[in-house]
Structure 1
């Protein structure tokens, strides 16, 4: 899942445009089939009966840790839990958050400016905005952000030994379990409190812990990396940046194009075939691990013309940056809203925004399951 700057590595494109599916070894040392074409990726993600998300991974046996983790569940368990959460993530419900998100963005911009140039866009803007939003939504103390950011980095870092990543998952579970216990004793007005009040008898504490942990991890990691990487993409494509500055109405298609072109989620959790299947003309035996490459699928020529080109005027393209099927990202409306508010606000506040230093000094999160930049020094 390596990357070359903002682009997927050439081997992914060759695999997609060639056989479409190749054998690889996962970071856990297990063999798997890597699916690279858009239609094949959609086939896998849309069929939980033949491609199960309940895939045992190293560290299995921790049933309490994986309980409530929607991305690792199949129907009917997945259906039951998602039905409880879906009302909280509708576009209408997310729109109610817009004034508060706007405040959070403006405060982060104030802090970035106060830090003085050059300043790290990731530390002062890209990471704080989604972190505070998801903390307030869930009822997680923002003061604890340093700890859960560090744990998230270890969980997602495929270069670390498996036991260290599993230990980080355990630490994260224990932390969230403490929050769930407090919410059960005194439920607040946040989402965790709502789940306790309205569904406390239907959800075990381990399920509540898993749900909250997943939402916290996904809620800040993906959007934070989209904000950092998206800003870098625009700075490296000044023609696209100029278009967005000249016409703020382009922000919606720009967000969709950045989501497609960057594909910060490099792959979704592996599926396990429950029977012999055919993917893109290839037979895959029952019991095989299958991994979907999101960057390869989103740059498939079958999806869109000139897929390697960043073109913010395209609009919606049917990308799979948020997944597809039953596991389509629950928080997609929230992520889109944060990006639509934060990116234009950044460009308005700093009309002369630029990188502070040569391009080659940008350090990417090369081994993270959620791709991004470790830091982004900017000036204005």
Structure 2
């Protein structure tokens, strides 16, 4: 039976919603999921879009070639206040085929499993040095600032081939850009400043090639294969995407283990299961609910709900990853479950380009911390944690720990 798409006379509920628990989706999302596989919502700019709340239908959206990432379309859902990307030719994230494939092919060799495995020794050194530094601080220490952010920031600087000295700008500005609660003015100012930093990096790479992904971009720029705006925009995306989400995954992952010390002890003794634990953390955290917006180009039938052509659509990973239709006891942290269908790293042609790098960082981080600081614990109560609850990218700002 077809489910009617007509909404009540009341305005659709607001999106995004806030989390009560940083390790669980907002309560409203679970209610939406049980009501319908796709629901119309009201965005911060007053426009409406559809959110997809069940696993099967969310995957259909990710993998459907008729669903576009083109932000220049009038009804493309602008989840963030002041969202600035309104073109489909600047960054790979918002490109459709065939342009998307050309840019992905250009960058993909830097993120293959073979390439990442070659970097594991270097990643291990970065993590060990960060642990050494962490242990020099007085306790309690902000684990997120002094460790979780340090690892992906250092790694992405190495991957890009730039000086780590830029990490302070990256972290400061990315925090504003990924926070849904930032005002349109603050978002625009932070975006402009970070683009300025990236323009400087592109210019420096042309003058003094440093290897890495940035040199790939500037070599293509000088060869006339891409333009300057594309080189700068891809630097921007790699900077933001290369550290913010990975840092939150580290901090929330350890919070998960603080809540379940028996699981931490098991992983300490069975390090071969750490990759499974990370996959389960990614499923449960589902921190990127606001960054996967799309627009339909044809009518979609999602579990009987008819979503019209030209409608904004957002596959919501946090309720989808708790869908009892897809997983038994979905709210339980269980490293033995089959997680092959989770969407934390995207799906279809827009699956995360850097997922192999992110997984490598996470595996090294969790093995090293569990081995070197076995008594690591939350200092105080969870109420002392500075949570980022605002609905775009979930995470923490302040995670006080001791050992």
Under TM normalisation by the shorter chain, which class is it? Answer: over 0.9
Could you tell me whether the CA contact under 8 Å between 2:221 and 2:231 is conserved in 1?
A: no
Offset of residue 140 of structure 1: 3.0
Q: Which residue of 1 aligns with 2:19?
A: 3
Q: Which residue of 2 aligns with 1:158?
A: 180
Give, in whole Å, the separation in 1 of the partners of 2:228 and 2:133. 37
Could you tell me whether the CA contact under 8 Å between 1:68 and 1:81 is conserved in 2?
A: no
Q: Which residue of 1 aligns with 2:327?
A: 304
Could you tell me whether the CA contact under 8 Å between 1:119 and 1:379 is conserved in 2?
A: yes
Deviations 1:58-101 (A, max 9, x none): 7678668x753211111111111111111111000011110110
* TM-score, normalised with respect to structure 1: 0.94
Could you tell me whether the CA contact under 8 Å between 1:252 and 1:315 is conserved in 2?
A: no
Q: How does 1:186-201 map to 2 (within 5 A)?
A: 186-197=208-219, 200-201=222-223
Could you tell me whether the CA contact under 8 Å between 2:160 and 2:211 is conserved in 1?
A: no
RMSD of aligned Cα (Å)? 1.9
Q: Which residue of 2 aligns with 1:98?
A: 120
Could you tell me whether the CA contact under 8 Å between 1:21 and 1:34 is conserved in 2?
A: yes
Aligned length in residues: 378
Give, in whole Å, the separation in 1 of the partners of 2:47 and 2:181. 15
Question: Does 1:252 find its partner at 2:275?
Answer: yes
Q: Which residue of 1 aligns with 2:340?
A: 317
Offset of residue 341 of structure 1: 0.3
Give, in whole Å, the separation in 1 of the partners of 2:69 and 2:44. 17
* TM-score, normalised with respect to structure 2: 0.89
Give, in whole Å, the separation in 1 of the partners of 2:382 and 2:287. 19
Higher helix share: 1
Q: Which residue of 1 aligns with 2:165?
A: 143
Change (3 A) 1:147 1:323: same
29, 32, 56: which is aligned to 1:12?
A: 29
SS in 1 for 2:388: coil
Mean alpha-carbon deviation: is it higher for 119-128 or for 166-175? 166-175
> Which runs of 5 or more structure 2 residues have no equivalent in the other structure?
1-15, 73-77
> Which runs of 5 or more structure 1 residues have no equivalent in the other structure?
none
Q: How does 1:1-380 map to 2 (within 5 A)?
A: 1=16, 2-5=18-21, 6-49=23-66, 51-56=67-72, 57=78, 67-197=89-219, 200-201=222-223, 202-314=225-337, 316-367=339-390, 369-380=392-403
Mean alpha-carbon deviation: is it higher for 302-311 or for 160-169? 160-169
Change (3 A) 1:155 1:28: farther
Change (3 A) 1:199 1:369: same
